[in-house]
Amino acid sequence: MADATMTVEVVSPEKVLFSGEATMVITRTLDGEVAFLPEHAAFLGALTESHTRVFLADGSVEDIAVHRGFVEVSHNKVSILTDVAELGSQVDVARAQSAKERAEAALRQAHDAEAVAALSRAHARLRAAGVPA
């Protein structure tokens, strides 16, 4: 049997960030990490900041930093709808590292939701870029 694939799209208000055929998608919802394979049952979930991995039909992996949004699976298609996402290859690592350091400093001062979210975004960006967070 030939390798089964599904269509994957990562869409932000400005553009379609990624569109292609994949054999698997791994992302993180509010309930935890989830993997989607071709012919997955219908699914709708809220996303948190994460390093999303799209396993392409050619064997390569597209790493994407997703900063919240929704994932919908229907009719052999995975749609990730997000306000902000970045391909791992386009992440400015120095800027992400600086954001991580600022968020860690803010958390040392006060444990607030914005600092936690900023740190989560920085970790997602760094992981997508292949840098240990």
Position 7 pLDDT exceeds 50: yes
For the CA atoms of the chain, what is the radius of gyration?
A: 15
Handedness of CA 130, 88, 55, 32 (dihedral sign): positive
Q: Distance between CA atoms of 16 and 98, rounded to whole angstroms?
A: 27
End-to-end Cα separation, the chain, in angstroms:
39
Q: Distance between CA atoms of 57 and 122, rounded to whole angstroms?
A: 28
- Residues 57-108 pLDDT 10s: 999 999 999 999 999 999 999 999 998 899 989 988 899 989 889 888 888 8
pTM of the prediction?
0.82
- Residues 111-126 pLDDT 10s: 778 888 888 888 888 8
